[in-house]
Amino acid sequence: MTKLTGRCLCGDVAYVANGDIAMQGNCHCTDCRQSSGSAFATLVFMKRDDITVSGEVKTFDHVVDSGNTLTKHFCPKCGSQLFTANQARPDSLGIRAGTLNEHEEVKPQFNVFAKSKMSCTHLDPDIPAFDGMPG
């Protein structure tokens, strides 16, 4: 079991996650790049029920190439994205790795949408890279 804590930039929203990390990965899709303002998004996935949030979050829903609706959870004051939810996995929540206090726990296991990565992004050759979403 792993305990993770984190917060948004202004500190109005914080969370504690107690449970098993299901998976961790980097997503290079256009949606993740645009929503994060970064070259890719690193996400740590845990069971939704294992995460306790304090403070108010706002959400933004959008439909991705698969047809699924993703929901971004963010702080209404500072705009920091904290979580991502996928309607196809209702029991899971992706924690935005940059919001974690326990940085040493972030160990991505894969890269998805590598075909969409920015040309300046170098992929770790020791972890698998998929052109799209595997499965």
Query: Residue 135 falls within a domain, yes or no?
Result: no
Supply the mean pLDDT for the chain.
95
Confidence class for position 85, pLDDT limits 50, 70, 90: very high
Give the domain range for residue 13.
Answer: 2-116
How far is residue 126's CA from residue 96's CA, in Å, rounded to a whole number?
Answer: 22
Query: Residue 63 falls within a domain, yes or no?
Result: yes
Strand-strand pairing, 23-27 and 58-63: unpaired
Query: Residue 123 falls within a domain, yes or no?
Result: no
- CATH number for position 18: 3.90.1590.10
Query: Residue 61 falls within a domain, yes or no?
Result: yes
Please state the rounded mean pLDDT for residues 118-124.
96
Confidence class for position 133, pLDDT limits 50, 70, 90: confident
Name the pTM for this structure: 0.93
Confidence class for position 66, pLDDT limits 50, 70, 90: confident
How far is residue 75's CA from residue 35's CA, in Å, rounded to a whole number?
Answer: 13
Confidence class for position 6, pLDDT limits 50, 70, 90: very high
Query: Residue 45 falls within a domain, yes or no?
Result: yes
Query: Residue 82 falls within a domain, yes or no?
Result: yes
Total number of domains constituting the chain:
1
How far is residue 26's CA from residue 18's CA, in Å, rounded to a whole number?
Answer: 22
In the predicted structure, residue 78 carries a pLDDT above the cut 80: yes
Please state the rounded mean pLDDT for residues 92-108.
97
Distances (CA, A) of 14 to 18, 62, 108, 111, 118: 14, 24, 23, 27, 31
In the predicted structure, residue 65 carries a pLDDT above the cut 90: no
Confidence class for position 67, pLDDT limits 50, 70, 90: confident
Check residue 55 and report its DSSP letter. S
